[in-house]
Amino acid sequence: MSLKNSEIILATQNKDKIREIRKILGYHFKIVTLKNFPEIIEDGKTLEENAIKKAKTIFKITKITSIADDSGLEVDFLDGKPGVYSARFAGKNCKYEDNNKKLLKLLKDVHYKKRKAKFTTVVAIVFEDGSIKTTSGSVYGYITTEPKGNNGFGYDPIFYYPKLKKTFAQLTTQQKNKISHRAIAFKKAKKLLEAEIRD
């Protein structure tokens, strides 16, 4: 196995994600994206299934080492919900605020100690020989009782990170990118990719 010209393709169209992942992976790799991105229905029961499905779909088209990620928020009190359904928790085509409102309503009057939650990202890599590897990263916090902060996206305003005593939406992009679930998972993926290059 080798990474031809260290070229890898990211199975995403999300420009924010591409920028963030480029920063984490550094400059060893020539990172490319697809112009005509196919529709991929994320119908897996786990983050892993979805990440693998996305990476495999892009690999079939390009035959270049393909990387995809899938993330979600798991809340203890809700037995791990919204989890793999994080993006559409409040319904199809819902906005981030709708998801946050729904979550806060479900946790109304629930004590701080029972509001534990974690963000998880799973990264799937399909290498040039078709072999698949996955990595994951999680970050732990609590769901607040009201949104705070204007940065970030998704559930960031209601995800309180005790180590920094702030919600993710109160962190700068640089601060979040140092500690986030996505950063942890992609740093592990970077190690796997670097190992391939050395072979």
Task: Identify the residue among 155, 160, 161, 186 touching ligand IMP (CB under 6 A).
Answer: 155
Residues 6+ apart with CB under 8 A from 97: none
- 22 vs 28, which CB is nearer to ligand IMP? 22
Q: What is the DSSP string of 148-184?
A: --SSS-TTGGGEEETTTTEEGGGS-HHHHHHH-HHHH
Would you call 155 exposed, middle or buried from its count of C-beta atoms within 10 A (0-12, 13-18, 19+)?
Answer: buried
The token pair at 170 is 């109160």
* Of 156 and 196, CB closest to ligand IMP: 156
**70 labelled catalytic:** yes
β 116-126/132-143 pair status: antiparallel
Whole-number minimum distance, CB 198 to ligand IMP, in Å?
A: 29
65 or 180: CB nearest ligand IMP: 180
User: Which is catalytic among the residues 70, 109, 129, 156?
Assistant: 70
Nearer to ligand IMP, 147 or 154 (CB): 154
Residue number with the shortest CB distance to ligand IMP? 154
Residue with tokens 């640089």: 174
Q: What CA–CA distance (Å, rounded) separates 31 from 156?
A: 27
Stretch that binds ligand IMP, among 29-37, 56-64, 149-157, 184-192 (CB under 6 A): 149-157
Instruction: Tell me which stretch binds ligand IMP (CB under 6 A): 57-65, 129-137, 146-154, 185-193.
Output: 146-154
Q: Which of residues 157-186 bind ligand IMP (CB under 6 A)?
A: 168, 180
| Segment holding 8, helix H or strand E | strand 7-10
SS3 72: strand
Q: Does 119 bind ligand IMP (CB under 6 A)?
A: yes
Which residues between 32 and 91 bind ligand IMP (CB under 6 A)? 70-73, 86-87
141 binds ligand IMP (CB under 6 A): no
Least CB distance from residue 50 to ligand IMP, whole Å?
7
Task: Retrieve residue 78's tokens.
Answer: 């809700």
> How many angstroms separate the CA atoms of 35 and 147, rounded?
36
Rounded distance between C-alpha atoms, residue 3 and residue 64, angstroms: 8
Residues of this chain that bind ligand IMP (CB under 6 A)? 70-73, 86-87, 99, 119, 152-156, 168, 180
List active site positions: 70
